């Protein structure tokens, strides 16, 4: 296959109006719809279905039987021209599904760059997924869920509609998330979900300095263990820590929550050993 060629297997079905950029590979049994745009060097293995008004960035890889851009699983959907937009260098493993948006939800399901979505994952209508996230097998996002950058979601987690997950958070396996997950935190569990402290190991792997982690631990102690209400805890954090990216992000996230923040602390949370 030459650099500027598009390779389409004889058993694949690509609509003549679909746009495939140079270097795109379409494997056996794939179906690419009329309103699909695929940028360069993206690869579809066998039996991938891409439908609707879907745009896929360069250098993505879709493994067998993934389904991208089909109608949202919303009983109010009436064939509206809603969209899926996917960035660059993403991997979608076997049987992953991504549904397009709904008119009432903004009309767009959006996924950023450098994400890895493992087998049987589901991203529902109107979700927003950032950059460099990992969703392990069977993780499921309900409609309108927001997942920010550098998040790790473990296997078979389920997220309630409109919940949010802040940057650099870690969600443990089989968790049922019905409220917002604070940035930099580590949560797990079912009814209730518990917070297990700062995602220290994840932050170290992402290059956070010791000083930055110590400051985040201090803010977490105030927010979760000071016996202050939310407004008082924010005021104390503002008084004790100078303005900066991490402090301001935590405060913004808390102040903009609509479903509340997961705050129930786990008995296993040892602040000194974190």
Q: Encode pLDDT of 86-137 as tens digits.
A: 999 999 999 999 999 999 999 999 999 999 999 999 999 999 999 999 999 9
Rounded distance, CA 225 to CA 235, Å? 15
- The closest alpha carbon to 142, from 166, 153, 158, 131, belongs to 158
Extract the residue ranges of the chain whose pLDDT is less than 70: 1-3, 267-274
- Catalytic (active site) residue 150: no
Domain membership of residue 74 as a residue range: 7-144
Whether 181 is covered by a domain: the verdict is no
Per-residue model confidence (pLDDT) at position 75? 93
Q: Which pTM does this prediction carry?
A: 0.95
* Paired residues of 122 in beta bridges: 97, 140
Phi, psi of 234 (to 5 degrees): -60, -45
Whether 57 is covered by a domain: the verdict is yes
Per-residue model confidence (pLDDT) at position 3? 66
| Tally of domains in the chain | 1
- Catalytic (active site) residue 246: no
Q: Which of 33, 143, 166, 202 is catalytic?
A: 143
Q: Which of 39, 47, 122, 125 is catalytic?
A: 125
Find the CATH number of the domain harbouring 76: 2.160.10.10
- Catalytic (active site) residue 27: no
Per-residue model confidence (pLDDT) at position 241? 97
Whether 33 is covered by a domain: the verdict is yes
CB neighbours of residue 44 within 10 Å = 32
Per-residue model confidence (pLDDT) at position 68? 98
Looking at 115-244, list the stretches that DSSP marks H as alpha helix, in order from N- to C-terminal side: 200-205, 210-225, 230-240
Whether 36 is covered by a domain: the verdict is yes
Whether 192 is covered by a domain: the verdict is no
Whether 46 is covered by a domain: the verdict is yes
CB neighbours of residue 258 within 10 Å = 9
Per-residue model confidence (pLDDT) at position 272? 47
Parallel, antiparallel or unpaired: strands 122-123 and 140-141 = parallel
Q: Which of 45, 74, 113, 126 is catalytic?
A: 126
Whether 27 is covered by a domain: the verdict is yes
Whether 84 is covered by a domain: the verdict is yes
Per-residue model confidence (pLDDT) at position 149? 98
């Amino acid at each position: 296959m030459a650099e500027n060629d598009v390779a389409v297997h004889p058993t694949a079905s690509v609509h003549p109006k679909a746009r495939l950029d140079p270097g795109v590979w379409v494997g056996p049994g794939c179906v690419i719809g009329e309103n699909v745009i695929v940028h360069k060097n993206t690869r579809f293995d066998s039996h991938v279905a891409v439908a609707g008004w879907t745009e896929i960035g360069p250098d993505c890889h879709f493994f067998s039987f993934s389904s991208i851009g089909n109608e949202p699983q919303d009983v109010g959907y009436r064939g509206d021209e809603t969209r899926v937009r996917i960035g660059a260098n993403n991997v979608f493993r076997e049987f992953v599904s991504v549904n397009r948006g709904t008119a009432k939800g903004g009309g767009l399901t959006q996924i950023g760059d450098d994400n890895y979505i493992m087998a049987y994952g589901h991203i529902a209508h109107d979700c927003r997924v950032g950059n460099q996230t990992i969703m392990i097998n069977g993780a499921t996002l309900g409609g309108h869920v927001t997942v920010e950058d550098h998040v790790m979601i473990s296997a078979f987690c389920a997220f309630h509609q409109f919940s949010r997950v802040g940057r650099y958070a870690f969600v443990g396996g089989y968790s049922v998330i019905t409220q917002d997950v604070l940035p930099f935190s580590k949560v797990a569990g079912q009814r209730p979900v518990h917070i297990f402290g700062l995602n220290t190991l994840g932050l170290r792997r992402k290059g956070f300095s010791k000083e930055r982690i110590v400051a985040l631990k201090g803010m977490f102690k105030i927010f979760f263990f000071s016996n202050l209400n939310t407004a008082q805890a924010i005021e104390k954090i503002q008084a004790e820590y100078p303005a900066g990216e991490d402090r301001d992000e935590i405060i913004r996230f808390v102040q903009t929550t609509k479903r509340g923040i997961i705050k129930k602390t786990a008995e296993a949370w040892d602040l000194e050993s974190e």
